[in-house]
Amino acid sequence: MFLIDCPYCKESRDQNEFSPAGEAFIARPQNPEALSDEEWADYVFYRTNHKGDHWEQWVHTAGCRKYFLVKRSTISHEIIQVSTFGEIDSENAS
């Protein structure tokens, strides 16, 4: 049961208040029609599913309802960093 720091509420709250919302930094393609079927499928279905420190999205469902970014180890479940969208993107995420 994770304890998650909501970067909007600025409080550590129980996982019960949040919902996971998938891998982070999967940007919707700007021009889907220009993509090949393979590229489109990669966006819709394929995931990195990284073992290790992993950026993902969570939403504070029973709180501020904001989506935000969490860097969490998928091995130890330790949360390494939380961030709002805008603070971090796929370019500057480490």
Q: Is 53 in the site for other proteins (CB under 8 A)?
A: no
Task: Kindly identify the residues of this chain, within the stretch 6-45, that bind other proteins according to CB under 8 A.
Answer: 14-16, 19-21, 23, 27-28, 31-33, 35, 37-38, 40-45
- Do you know the residue count of the chain? 94
Nearest to 25 by CA among 7, 3, 47: 47
Q: Is 62 in the site for other proteins (CB under 8 A)?
A: no
| Long-range pairs of 26-29 with CB within 8 A, sequence gap ≥ 24 | 27/90
Least spacing, CB of residue 94 vs other proteins, in Å: 18
Main-chain dihedrals φ then ψ at residue 43, nearest 5 degrees = -65, -45
Task: Kindly identify the residues of this chain, within the stretch 63-82, that bind other proteins according to CB under 8 A.
Answer: 65-67, 72, 74-77, 79
